[in-house]
Amino acid sequence: MDNRSKLLSEALNLFSDRGFDAVGVQEIVNVCGVKKPTLYHYFKNKIGLLETIFSENFVALKNQISLASEYKHDITNNLNQITKTFFEYAKEHQKFYRMQLSMYFSPPENEVHQIAIKYNKELHDLLEEMFKNAVKDHGNFRDREGLYAATYLGMVNTYIGMFLNRYVEIDEALIYRLVHQFMHGIFS
Amino acid sequence: MDNRSKLLSEALNLFSDRGFDAVGVQEIVNVCGVKKPTLYHYFKNKIGLLETIFSENFVALKNQISLASEYKHDITNNLNQITKTFFEYAKEHQKFYRMQLSMYFSPPENEVHQIAIKYNKELHDLLEEMFKNAVKDHGNFRDREGLYAATYLGMVNTYIGMFLNRYVEIDEALIYRLVHQFMHGIFS
DNA sequence: TTACTAATATACCTACCGGTATATATAATT
DNA sequence: AATTATATATACCGGTAGGTATATTAGTAA
pLDDT, one tens digit for every residue, chain B (188 residues):
899 999 999 999 999 999 999 999 999 999 999 999 999 999 999 999 999 999 999 999 999 999 999 999 999 999 999 999 999 999 999 999 999 999 999 999 999 999 999 999 999 999 999 999 999 999 999 999 999 999 999 999 999 999 999 999 999 999 999 999 999 888 77
Q: What dihedral angle (degrees, nearest 10) is formed by the CA atoms of A103, B166, B121, A185?
A: -110
CA pair distance A58, A100, nearest whole angstrom: 10
Please name the fold of domain A1-43.
Arc Repressor Mutant, subunit A (1.10.10)
User: Measured between CB atoms, which of A21, A158, A182 is closest to B21?
Assistant: A21
Nucleotides of C under 7 A from a protein CB: 7-12, 16-22
Flag if A154 and B161 touch (Cβ within 8 Å).
yes
CA B44 to C1' D24 (Å) is: 22
Phi-psi label, residue A108: left if phi above 0, alpha if psi -120 to 50, beta otherwise: alpha
Residues of chain A with CATH 1.10.357.10: 46-187
State the Rg of chain B over Cα.
18
User: Measured between CB atoms, which of A105, A158, A168 is closest to B155?
Assistant: A158
CA pair distance A183, A179, nearest whole angstrom: 6
Please name the fold of domain A46-187.
Tetracycline Repressor; domain 2 (1.10.357)
User: Measured between CB atoms, which of B98, B108, B154 is closest to A158?
Assistant: B154
Q: Are B19 and B11 in contact (CB under 8 A)?
A: no
At A186, the pLDDT band (50, 70, 90 cuts) reads confident
Residues of chain A with CATH 1.10.10.60: 1-43
At A172, the pLDDT band (50, 70, 90 cuts) reads very high
Chain B residues whose C-beta is within 8 A of a chain A C-beta are: 15-19, 21-22, 98-99, 101-102, 104-110, 146-147, 150-151, 154-155, 157-159, 161-162, 167-168, 177, 180-182, 184-185, 188
Domain B51-187 classified CATH 1.10.3720.10? no
The phi and psi torsions of A108 (rounded to 5 degrees) equal -60, -35
Q: What is the mean pLDDT of chain A?
A: 96
Closest approach of chain A CAs to the CA of B156, in angstroms? 10
Residues of chain B with CATH 1.10.357.10: 51-187
What DSSP string runs through B15-83? HHHH-TTTS-HHHHHHHHT--HHHHHHHSSSHHHHHHHHHHHHHHHHHHHHHHHT---S-HHHHHHHHH
Q: Which residues contact B11 (CB under 8 A, 6 or more apart)?
A: B23, B28, B49, B50, B53
CA B141 to C1' D1 (Å) is: 82
Flag if A154 and B146 touch (Cβ within 8 Å).
no
Nearest residue to A178 via CA among B182, B156, B178 = B182
